[in-house]
Amino acid sequence: MTLLVKSSYSHRFLSSSTPAMSVCSSFCPQLPSYFRQKPINSLPTKPLFPLSFKVFSSQATGVSAKDELPGRIGFLGMGIMGTPMAQNLLKAGCDVTVWNRTKSKCDPLISLGAKYQPSPDEVAASCDVTFAMLADPESAMDVACGKHGAASGMGPGKGYVDVSTVDGDTSKLINGHIKATGASFLEAPVSGSKKPAEDGQLIFLAAGDKSLYNTVAPLLDIMGKSRFYLGDVGNGAAMKLVVNMIMGSMMATFSEGLLHSEKVGLDPNVLVEVVSQGAISAPMYSLKGPSMIESLYPTAFPLKHQQKDLRLALGLAESVSQSTPIAAAANELYKVAKSHGLSDEDFSAVIEALKAKK
């Protein structure tokens, strides 16, 4: 395995990767028009930014230090995830052009040096690779393929990377529209919420054009801690939906446990501590548990998006005749929480749907 270095404003810890997976990395210097991956022995003696080390695991090989990256990067969607992702690209010295339906959401990025275009097609036309992080399948389709959509600005030599969470059918439709222009398409939905996005600790689940994957791999490494190439378009979407189906079901069960412990006279804070030290430990429990006990739900991953992902995962399961009764029950609980006006709260607010009416 080879350890390579990436420049970044933030210090990150060294993570381990599975031996079966190849290791990829990049060094992104502060250059306005292009980037080039460099092995550790070619780093300048006085780097522009503090250096931190990160190992990237991937099922794909073939990312060469000789590969040149596009110098102009577009980013569509400045929401809870898109904004920190684009910020990390800017902090790494990348040339970034942004767009959002509400322009004011682009202002913080513009103040950091980003360029702005008033429509997705103009972003795509002015950039070599365009990323999109949208809220749902409908938005992803509209921004990519609708009037003034990114596809209208695409062409040979360009790439479109959709990092939104959508169903496989939507991803394949977008792929068709993009490829019809002569451009390349990659789906790369992310596992991780607001804090991992801010810290550059996302996990990318990529599928589609392998050459585009290799080209943008160093950009994914700036925004994330690991990346997986999963083959044909649709596989990335499927993996993300399965992951979020598991997560949503886990949170629903955890909510039941917190309330159950309190009802039988136990301290739910102690429950969180016990769980965090056992075989079922998960960072989500220790991170969300204390605030859930206080009925506080600061939004990192909106509840409405968790319910959307459960709905899409259940549809995927039905398409292959896979029984998912636990996820189906969890989905109903999130729907109840939405009916209580909790759509924009963190998905941990699902616990409110379980609280008995007083």
Is 19 in contact with 209 (CB distance < 8 Å)? no
Q: Name 337's Cβ contacts closer than 8 Å, sequence gap at least 6.
A: 303, 307, 349, 350, 352, 353
Beta-bridge partners for 184: 159
Nearest to 222 by CA among 243, 204, 210: 204
Q: Supply 229's token pair.
A: 């190439």
Exactly one of 6, 194, 240, 338 is catalytic; which is it?
A: 240
Q: Is the dihedral of CA 187, 188, 191, 192 positive or negative?
A: negative
Rounded distance between C-alpha atoms, residue 327 and residue 207, angstroms? 25
Nearest to 170 by CA among 200, 209, 143, 130: 143
Active site residue 240: yes
Instruction: Output the CA torsion 222→225→230→234 (10° steps).
Output: -70
Is 254 in contact with 286 (CB distance < 8 Å)? no
Rounded distance between C-alpha atoms, residue 247 and residue 287, angstroms? 14
Q: At residue 118, what is the residue type? A: P
**Residue spans of beta strands (DSSP E) within the chain:** 5-7, 22-23, 35-36, 51-53, 57-58, 68-69, 72-76, 95-99, 115-116, 129-132, 159-162, 184-187, 190-191, 202-208, 224-229
Is 128 in contact with 96 (CB distance < 8 Å)? no
What's the burial of 169, exposed, middle or buried (CB within 10 Å: 0-12/13-18/19+)? middle
Would you please indicate which residues are annotated as catalytic (active-site) residues?
A: 240
